[in-house]
C-alpha cells in the first residue's frame, strides 16, 4: 500500500501515523479538531515533525488512500463512517478501531459497503500507548483475512476472529465493562477510603486477597488514565451499555461505569487536576476529588 489515511488525529491516531510513516509512502490525516485554529496549530506541529500530511478537509485527506483507519471517539464511529463513505475509493479498506457496539459497527459496515469499500472491524484489546502499533487487535469482517497479512507485515499484532462484523467488538465491549469498571471501582473505593482515613487498612486487605497486584501502582495508573481520558472512556462505556442492551440485558453496570467516567471527565474539564502531575501517586488525584466536593451549607 502506498497511502494510508488516519481519521482522528488524537493520541491513537498520532501514534499509528508516526509508526506507519517509515513503512508507507504517504500518510495523511484528518480530524474535526483541525477546523479549530487554536487546536490545528498543535496538530500541525506534530504532523510536520513526523512527515504526516494533514488534509484541508476529509475529502482531500482520503484522496488516493488505499487504507483508511478510523480512530475517533466512540460516539463518532457511525458519523465518521458515513462521512468517509462519501469520499472513499471503491476497493479501499476501512479499518475501524473505534470502541463501539456490534450494532454500531454493523451500521458502519453497511455505510461503507455502499460505495464499494471493504469494511474491517478491529477490537483494540488494551490501551494503545504502552504498545503503539503492536497493540493486540481482533479483526472481523468479510475482508478481514485479506487485510490481515498487510497489517502483520507492518508489525501489527492482529488476529482474525470472524468473517462476521460484531464478534470482535462484542469481545472488546465485554472486556471494557470489566476494565473500565475496575477503574471506576478503584477511583470510588480508594477516594472514599482516603476520606475515612482507612486507605492503608483497605489496601492491605486487597493485597492479601490479590497479592499479585501492586494496588498503589495500579490505582495511580487508573486515576491518571481516567483523569486524562475520562470523556473518551465514558463514550466507550455508553457503547458498552448499548452492547449489553443488544444482548437483551439491562445495562446496569455499563451505564453506572459510564457515569463515573463522565464525572471524572467533568472534574478534569473544570481543572481540578491542574496541579496533579501524570505520574503522581493516586492520593494526589483522590485529594483533588475530595477538595472539589460541594460542602453542605
Read off the pLDDT of residues 128-150 as tens digits, 9 standing for 90 and up.
988 999 999 999 999 999 999 99
pLDDT tens digits, residue range 32-83? 999 998 888 999 999 999 999 999 999 999 999 999 999 999 999 999 999 9
- Cα angle, residue 105 at apex, residues 182 and 36 outer, rounded to 5°: 80
Encode pLDDT of 240-266 as tens digits: 999 999 999 999 999 999 999 999 999
- Each domain of the chain, given as residue ranges in start order, spans 3-163, 169-291
Find the helix or strand (DSSP H, E) in which 189 lies.
helix 167-196
**Per-residue pLDDT tens for 171-223?**
999 999 999 999 999 999 999 999 999 999 999 999 999 999 999 999 999 99
Exposure string of 258-275, with b = 16+ CB inside 10 Å and e = fewer, is: bebbbbbbebbeeebbee
Residue 93 pLDDT class (50, 70, 90 cuts): very high
Class of domain 3-163: alpha beta
3-state helix, strand, coil in the chain (%, to 5): 60, 10, 30
Q: Are 165 and 106 in contact (CB under 8 A)?
A: yes
Q: Is the pLDDT of residue 296 over 50?
A: no
pLDDT band for position 294 (cuts 50, 70, 90): low
Helix (H) or strand (E) holding 228: helix 215-246
Interior angle at CA 121, CA 159 and CA 21, nearest 5: 80
Determine the average pLDDT of the residues in 154-182: 97
Question: What pLDDT score was predicted for residue 38?
Answer: 87
| pLDDT surpassing 80 at residue 295 | no
Tell me how far apart the alpha carbons of residues 217 and 219 are, in angstroms, rounded to a whole number. Answer: 5
CATH number of the 169-291 domain: 1.10.1040.10
Closest CA to 32 of 67, 61, 2, 52: 61
Q: How many CB atoms lie within 10 A of CB 18?
A: 18
Q: Which residues contact 107 (CB under 8 A, 6 or more apart)?
A: 78, 81
* Strands 137-140 and 118-124, sheet pairing: antiparallel
pTM above 0.85, yes or no: yes
pLDDT of residue 293: 83
Mean pLDDT of 14-43: 94
pLDDT at 110: 98
Amino acid at each position: 500500500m502506498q497511502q494510508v489515511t488516519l481519521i482522528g488525529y488524537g493520541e491513537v491516531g498520532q501514534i499509528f501515523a508516526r509508526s506507519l510513516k517509515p513503512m508507507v509512502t504517504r500518510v495523511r490525516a484528518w480530524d474535526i479538531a483541525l477546523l479549530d485554529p487554536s487546536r490545528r496549530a498543535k496538530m500541525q506541529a506534530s504532523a510536520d515533525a513526523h512527515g504526516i500530511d494533514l488534509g484541508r478537509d476529509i475529502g482531500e485527506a482520503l484522496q488516493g488512500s488505499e487504507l483508511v483507519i478510523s480512530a475517533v471517539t466512540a460516539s463518532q464511529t457511525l458519523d465518521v463512517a458515513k462521512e468517509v463513505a462519501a469520499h472513499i475509493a471503491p476497493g479501499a479498506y476501512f479499518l475501524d478501531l473505534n470502541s463501539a457496539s456490534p450494532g454500531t459497527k454493523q451500521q458502519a459496515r453497511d455505510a461503507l459497503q455502499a460505495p464499494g469499500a471493504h469494511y474491517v472491524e478491529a477490537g483494540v484489546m488494551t490501551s494503545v500507548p504502552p504498545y503503539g502499533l503492536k497493540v493486540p487487535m481482533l479483526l472481523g469482517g468479510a475482508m478481514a483475512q485479506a487485510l490481515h497479512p498487510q497489517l502483520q507485515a507492518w508489525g501489527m499484532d492482529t488476529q482474525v476472529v470472524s468473517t462476521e462484523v460484531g464478534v470482535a467488538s462484542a469481545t472488546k465491549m465485554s472486556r471494557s465493562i470489566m476494565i473500565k469498571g475496575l477503574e471506576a471501582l478503584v477511583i470510588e473505593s480508594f477516594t472514599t477510603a482516603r476520606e475515612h482515613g482507612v486507605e492503608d487498612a483497605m489496601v492491605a486487605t486487597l493485597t492479601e486477597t490479590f497479592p499479585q497486584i501492586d494496588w498503589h501502582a495500579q490505582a495511580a495508573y487508573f486515576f491518571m488514565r481516567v483523569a486524562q481520558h475520562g470523556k473518551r472512556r465514558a463514550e466507550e462505556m455508553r457503547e458498552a451499555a448499548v452492547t449489553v442492551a443488544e444482548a437483551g440485558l439491562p445495562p446496569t453496570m455499563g451505564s453506572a461505569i459510564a457515569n463515573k467516567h463522565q464525572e471524572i471527565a467533568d472534574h478534569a474539564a473544570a481543572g481540578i487536576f491542574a496541579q496533579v502531575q501524570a505520574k503522581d501517586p493516586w492520593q494526589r488525584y483522590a485529594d483533588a476529588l475530595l477538595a472539589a466536593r460541594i460542602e453542605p451549607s
